[in-house]
């Protein structure tokens, strides 16, 4: 760990309180001059650190740059997030996570970025991920599950993320099957799960759960302004992104641990914004208007056609009818 990161860790542990440069220097076995240089580097990276004569350095409570010490300070997990990499910018956290998973990365290894230049959504769509305004993370999980649970991992994650957002911000989210969180009719969050099948064991070798949340966005590109929203836009409040990242990992570990009981499906159904409504489903470029009936016990979407036939879908693009 670089000296500036060690200094940051101490400042994070005392966020909002002053710590003397001498105390930092002694605890890290470095000179006060080296502490000053480290603080200077952190300021250049965007951290607001006040220096008060005879009191020391203080990392102000409104700092919202994602960093490992800050996330860890809110973390309650055993495995998820205990190994993490944080980037200023990356093409896709999911792509990087998959490359790590293929090299044997441990369960819970988490990739976080301040910005994605090529974020991915379902069906190959691009996910809008501007700098310092959202949460873009991917978690590698190695569940002992059969292939049929692959779809349920996304559903399980949707419940966990909704719970985390509600706890940290107070904003209740609805779920649009299978992977989107909505608030007031607009998309707030997208989830993309990519899984690898183990040939020998016939089950999931690993899954990468990618999560993108609009947190502090106050504006969107023209093509998104009528369909996207953010936590700040809905609540008028800024939330601590490190706290929200940690709470997502906290809730995700709990929910994934109970995935075989399928208890999360009750909460998924309660948060559904499409059950009982007329929707348009699109598969293989063919669209059909149907009635959404339920989410079954495998996470599939149950719809009723106009002729009365009911079918359970694993994949489809959903459009809500006004």
pLDDT digits (tens, 9 = 90+) for 180-218: 999 999 999 999 999 888 755 668 899 999 999 999 988
Q: How far apart are the C-alpha atoms of 70 and 47, rounded to whole Å?
A: 12
Domain that holds residue 39: 3-59
Task: Give Cα 184 distance to the centre of its chain.
Answer: 20
Q: How far apart are the C-alpha atoms of 54 and 241, rounded to whole Å?
A: 31
> Are 231 and 163 within one domain?
yes
- Find the mean pLDDT for residues 239-263: 95
Buried (b) or exposed (e) across 261-281, using 16+ Cβ within 10 A?
Answer: ebebbebbeebbbbbeeebeb
Categorize the per-residue pLDDT at 278 as very low, low, confident or very high, splitting at 50, 70 and 90: very high
Categorize the per-residue pLDDT at 34 as very low, low, confident or very high, splitting at 50, 70 and 90: very high
In CATH, what number is assigned to the domain containing residue 266?
Answer: 3.30.930.10
Radius of gyration of the chain (CA): 22
Percent of the chain with pLDDT over 90: 73
> Are 219 and 257 within one domain?
yes
Q: How far apart are the C-alpha atoms of 132 and 146, rounded to whole Å?
A: 37
Task: Name, in order, each residue with C-beta under 8 angstroms of 20's C-beta and a sequence gap of 6 or more.
Answer: 55, 56, 57
Give me the pLDDT at residue 250, please.
98
pLDDT digits 0-9 by tens, 58-75: 999 888 889 998 899 899
Contact 211, 153 (CB under 8 A): no
Give me the pLDDT at residue 118, please.
81
pTM: 0.89
Q: Residue 52 above 90 pLDDT?
A: no
> Are 165 and 137 within one domain?
yes
Give me the pLDDT at residue 150, please.
79
> Are 216 and 312 within one domain?
no
pLDDT digits 0-9 by tens, 130-182: 677 899 999 999 988 888 787 799 999 999 999 999 999 999 999 999 889 99
In CATH, what number is assigned to the domain containing residue 50?
Answer: 1.10.10.10
The domain tally of the chain equals: 3
DSSP state of 173: -
Q: Higher model confidence: residue 124 or residue 317?
A: 317
Categorize the per-residue pLDDT at 287 as very low, low, confident or very high, splitting at 50, 70 and 90: very high
Give me the pLDDT at residue 79, please.
97
> Are 283 and 189 within one domain?
no
Give me the pLDDT at residue 53, please.
85
Q: Residue 219 above 90 pLDDT?
A: no
> Are 44 and 93 within one domain?
no
Contact 50, 60 (CB under 8 A): yes
> Are 53 and 72 within one domain?
no
Q: How far apart are the C-alpha atoms of 158 and 161, rounded to whole Å?
A: 5
DSSP state of 116: B
> Are 207 and 293 within one domain?
no
> Are 306 and 211 within one domain?
no
> Are 22 and 115 within one domain?
no
> Are 116 and 235 within one domain?
yes
Categorize the per-residue pLDDT at 271 as very low, low, confident or very high, splitting at 50, 70 and 90: very high
């Amino acid at each position: 760990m670089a000296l500036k990161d060690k200094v940051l860790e101490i400042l994070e542990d005392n966020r909002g309180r002053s710590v003397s440069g001498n105390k930092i220097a002694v605890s890290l076995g470095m000179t006060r001059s080296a502490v000053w240089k480290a603080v200077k580097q952190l300021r250049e990276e965007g951290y607001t650190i006040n220096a008060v004569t005879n009191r020391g350095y203080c990392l102000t409570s409104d700092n919202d740059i994602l960093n490992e010490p800050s996330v860890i300070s809110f973390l309650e997990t055993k495995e998820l997030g205990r190994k993490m990499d944080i980037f200023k910018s990356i093409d896709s956290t999911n792509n990087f996570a998959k490359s790590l998973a293929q090299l044997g990365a441990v369960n819970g290894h988490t990739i976080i970025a301040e910005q994605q230049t090529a974020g991915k959504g379902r069906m190959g769509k691009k996910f809008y991920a501007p700098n310092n305004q959202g949460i873009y993370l991917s978690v590698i999980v190695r569940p002992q599950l059969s292939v049929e649970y692959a779809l349920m991992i996304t559903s399980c994650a949707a419940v966990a993320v909704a719970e985390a957002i509600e706890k940290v911000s107070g904003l209740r989210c609805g779920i649009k099957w299978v992977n989107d969180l909505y608030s007031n009719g607009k998309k707030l969050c997208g989830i993309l799960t990519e899984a690898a099948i183990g040939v020998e064991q016939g089950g999931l070798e690993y899954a990468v759960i990618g999560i993108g949340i609009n947190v502090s966005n106050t504006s969107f590109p023209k093509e998104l302004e009528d369909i996207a929203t953010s936590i700040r836009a809905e609540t008028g409040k800024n939330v601590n992104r490190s706290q929200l990242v940690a709470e997502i990992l906290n809730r995700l570990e709990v929910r994934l641990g109970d995935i075989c009981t399928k208890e999360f499906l009750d909460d998924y159904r309660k948060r559904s914004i499409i059950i009982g409504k007329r929707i348009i489903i699109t598969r293989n470029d063919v669209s059909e208007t149907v009635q959404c009936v339920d989410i079954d016990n495998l996470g599939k979407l149950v719809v009723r056609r106009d002729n009365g036939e009911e079918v359970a879908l694993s994949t489809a693009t959903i459009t809500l009818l006004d």
